[in-house]
């Protein structure tokens, strides 16, 4: 249940929870402090000018709470102490560093533009800090530094901008994954609000699972300097670099080294496309030049394998045998990562046709490559996948809808009038929804009883099957957890809008499934040459297609 709700299950320890809350409070105050320094102090003039040159508006800076850390060893440290935080708490929050000699601490961030890192609910956990432009040439610690791993911050479980993008990702049914903070902020300012960033690291399994709570469609926006023309000349290195950009996950190889591979979780109901950014090396620069170019690039996004095929064959003279061998070696490595057998077959045939070689010869090379691939490549993620079955997008939409229903019972009559049980994803959810409708009708005059414990008590008295009762109680716990996680800041009006969006998506998916069923029945009727049924199925298809059209208007 924790995995479905996108959280890590931990035993409850009141003392540990108290410490965690203190660290979160310290980071939240640090965000406000750095933002105030950026807006109001002379030391931040260069940072303000830099952000202005990058095209950021004042309201954007305020929305993202961008800040500035002074060239000071102890200003934030001392200020937090005056607010009642101990030296140890400030250190554990990742805001200070221990002195190498003697006792004491000093500020971790100095002379940097500060980008807060939030979880999906909008709680700040840490920072990415960019060196001030005037110090860039002499800075020894790097252009960007991040908060360290702490009790509250794990970079593998955070996506920059997800707290602001999640509802737009649901609405667009797609997430655009960029690399840097400025890519995300510029995109949102320009109206591309379904953009998040991996902050320059490989996308972890946890981040993938986090994103799949909102969509199964991933569009990776590649910088031109990493997806450029010379990329195809780097042999085996480009395969891993390509996977890093397009599939982005890490595992240990057979020698215990961290390498980048395709996580098996990506073989389950996830669609990946590549956005090739024109006119600039990153989305931020492209958008500043012409937002229309970026919009066109999104519309022209190609499948991940198609992208790599095109890159490999561009300007390659296939009359030379050595070039055919080089292209086959690179592309077979990519084809071998495809989990779907039909898709793998199709790309293998395309490769054989393009190279004008025997398809069977390529199959033999592919089989040999897969047999000799190190067992450890992705073995850890495979275990994880086995213990945590993939969850369909329909199921996640249904869970979100039911979670909203529990949190905002005032909209339940709207839900009843808008959706039928058969439109929900799985049998357990349909059974729960039917019981929820009955329960709601029994307490409609006293909506205050519409809560988890009251609902469980009612189920206890109305469901005789112990296994079914246990499953429904567990589902309630998961939905309440999900509601607090994803919708705790949502207003009643926003909840109504969100419910409407989810209902439309579920209706559309249900109708499309009906159309596919009718198409299969129609094909069977045509084989039997049954004129009566052919006419009946064609009429039914038109009716459902018209419903889909009305939904999409």
Q: Tell me the three-class secondary structure of 244-299, residue by residue.
A: HHHCCCEEECCCCCEEECCCHHHHCCCEEEEEECCCCCCHHHHHHHCHHHHHHHHH
pLDDT of 251 reads 42
pLDDT of 449 reads 52
Per-residue tens of pLDDT for the chain, all 553 residues: 766 666 666 655 565 567 888 999 999 999 999 999 999 999 999 999 999 999 999 999 999 999 999 999 999 999 999 999 999 999 999 999 988 777 889 999 999 999 999 998 899 999 999 998 888 877 777 788 889 888 888 887 889 999 999 999 999 999 999 888 999 999 999 999 999 998 655 677 778 888 888 998 888 886 654 433 333 233 222 223 333 334 444 444 333 434 443 333 344 457 888 888 876 568 888 888 888 888 998 998 888 788 778 888 887 888 888 888 888 887 887 777 776 677 778 888 888 888 888 888 788 777 765 555 543 333 334 333 333 344 577 888 888 898 888 888 888 888 888 888 888 878 888 888 888 888 877 665 444 456 677 788 888 888 888 888 888 888 888 888 788 777 877 888 888 999 998 988 888 888 888 888 888 888 888 888 888 888 888 888 888 888 877 776 6
330 close to 232: Cβ distance less than 8 angstroms:
yes
In 10 A of CB 346, how many CB atoms? 14
Stated as kind and residue range, the H or E segment containing 97 is strand 96-98
Instruction: Give me the torsion for CA of 341, 346, 350, 351, rounded to 10°.
Output: 0
177 close to 220: Cβ distance less than 8 angstroms:
yes
pLDDT of 11 reads 58
378 close to 252: Cβ distance less than 8 angstroms:
no
Helix, coil or strand: residue 113: strand
Instruction: Give me the torsion for CA of 277, 283, 285, 286, rounded to 10°.
Output: 50
335 close to 243: Cβ distance less than 8 angstroms:
no
Classify each residue of 522-551 as buried b or exposed e, where b means 16 or more C-beta atoms within 10 Å of its C-beta.
beebeeeeeeeebeebeebbeebeebeeee
pLDDT of 370 reads 59
Encoded tokens for 206? 């946890």
Instruction: Give me the torsion for CA of 50, 52, 58, 62, rounded to 10°.
Output: -30
pLDDT of 477 reads 83
211 close to 175: Cβ distance less than 8 angstroms:
yes
pLDDT of 380 reads 38
Identify the residue whose tokens are 């807006």.
39
- The pTM (predicted TM-score) of the whole model is 0.61
């Amino acid at each position: 249940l924790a995995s479905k709700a996108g959280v890590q299950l931990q035993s409850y320890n009141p003392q540990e929870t108290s410490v965690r809350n203190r660290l979160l409070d310290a980071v939240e105050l640090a965000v406000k402090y750095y933002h105030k320094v950026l807006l109001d102090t002379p030391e931040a003039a260069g940072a303000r000018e830099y952000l202005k040159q990058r095209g950021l508006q004042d309201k954007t800076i305020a929305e993202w709470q961008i800040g500035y850390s002074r060239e000071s060893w102890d200003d934030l440290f001392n200020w937090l102490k005056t607010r009642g935080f101990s030296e140890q708490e400030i250190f554990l929050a990742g805001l200070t560093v221990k002195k190498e000699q003697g006792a004491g601490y000093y500020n971790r961030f100095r002379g940097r533009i500060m980008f807060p890192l939030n979880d999906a609910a909008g709680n700040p956990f840490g920072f990415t800090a960019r060196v001030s432009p005037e110090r860039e040439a002499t800075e020894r610690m790097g252009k960007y530094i991040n908060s360290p791993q702490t009790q509250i911050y794990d970079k593998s479980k955070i996506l920059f901008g997800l707290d602001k993008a999640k509802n737009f990702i649901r609405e667009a049914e797609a997430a655009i994954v960029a690399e840097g903070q400025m890519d995300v902020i510029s995109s949102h300012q320009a109206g591309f609000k379904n953009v998040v960033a991996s902050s320059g690291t490989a996308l972890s399994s946890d981040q993938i699972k986090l994103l799949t709570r909102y969509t199964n469609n991933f569009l990776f926006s590649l910088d031109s300097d990493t997806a450029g023309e010379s990329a195809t000349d780097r042999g085996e290195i480009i395969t891993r670099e390509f996977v890093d950009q397009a599939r982005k996950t890490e595992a240990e190889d057979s020698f215990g080294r961290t390498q980048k591979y395709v996580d098996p979780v990506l073989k389950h109901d996830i669609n990946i496309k590549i956005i090739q950014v024109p006119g600039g090396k990153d989305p931020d620069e492209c958008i500043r030049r012409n937002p229309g170019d970026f919009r066109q690039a999104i519309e022209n996004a190609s499948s991940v394998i198609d992208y790599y095929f095109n890159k490999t064959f561009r300007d390659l003279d296939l009359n030379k045998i050595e070039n055919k061998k080089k292209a086959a070696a690179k592309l077979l490595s990519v084809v071998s990562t495809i989990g779907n057998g039909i898709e793998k077959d199709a790309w293998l045939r395309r490769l054989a046709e393009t190279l004008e070689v025997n398809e069977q010869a390529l199959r033999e090379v592919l089989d040999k490559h897969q047999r000799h691939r190190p067992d450890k490549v992705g073995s850890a993620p495979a275990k994880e996948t086995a213990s945590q079955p993939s969850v369909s997008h329909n199921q996640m939409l249904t869970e979100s809808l039911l979670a909203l229903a529990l949190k905002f019972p005032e909209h339940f009559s709207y839900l009843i009038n808008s959706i039928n049980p058969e439109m929900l994803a799985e049998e357990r959810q349909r059974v729960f929804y039917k019981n929820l409708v009955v329960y709601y009708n029994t307490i409609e005059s006293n909506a205050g009883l519409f809560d988890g414990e009251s609902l469980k008590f009612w189920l206890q008295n109305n469901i005789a099957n112990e296994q079914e009762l246990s499953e429904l109680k567990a589902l309630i716990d998961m939905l309440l957890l999900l509601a607090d996680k994803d919708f705790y800041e949502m207003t009643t009006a926003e909840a109504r809008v969100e419910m409407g969006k989810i209902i439309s998506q579920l209706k559309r998916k249900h109708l499309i499934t009906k159309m596919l069923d009718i198409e299969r029945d129609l094909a069977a009727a045509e084989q039997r040459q049954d004129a009566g049924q052919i006419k009946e199925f064609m009429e039914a298809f038109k009716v459902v297609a018209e419903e889909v059209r009305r939904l999409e208007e």
